[in-house]
Amino acid sequence: MTPISDWRVLVIEDEADSMEVVKELFEHHQVSCWAVGTAEEALAMIAEVQPNLFVVDLALPGMDGWGFLKTIKDDPNTAHIPAVAVTAYHSANVARQAIDAGFRAYFPKPLDTMSFVRELSRMLG
């Protein structure tokens, strides 16, 4: 993964409050961040944004986070980009399924604002 100062994060989050928290966390660390409310919007923006990290809510309207992960992993242009899962529907089973599916990390909501970016940097750096 590239240094945090070079991150280009695409956040896919349908809850406005959660989206704002994640955007503010990244912006506080001077990380370039774009946020959309659906997986379909994210897929349409990938070529323009050229993200090097996806933060994906698992429970999205339309295509869910699991479908988004499969779509980007099946595309050779995006298969290398790490994706991390976030969800309000936390359980040990969901966490294991997310990692097994190919998410690089898993974070339950509400996010720990004191450690989220630091944990991402540690895991992905």
Contact 101, 66 (CB under 8 A): yes
- Contacts with 109 (C-beta within 8 Å, 6 or more apart), sequence order: 18, 86, 87, 88, 90
Q: Per residue in 72-100, pLDDT tens? A: 999 999 999 999 999 999 899 999 999 99
pTM of the model: 0.95
Domain boundaries, the chain: 4-124
What is the spatial distance between Cα 119 and Cα 5, in angstroms, rounded to a whole number? 15
Enter the tokens of residue 39. 């997986």
pLDDT band for position 1 (cuts 50, 70, 90): low
What's the angle, vertex CA 22, arms to CA 88 and CA 103, rounded to 5? 60
Closest C-alpha among 61, 58, 63 to residue 99: 58
CATH topology of domain 4-124: Rossmann fold (3.40.50)
pLDDT band for position 122 (cuts 50, 70, 90): confident
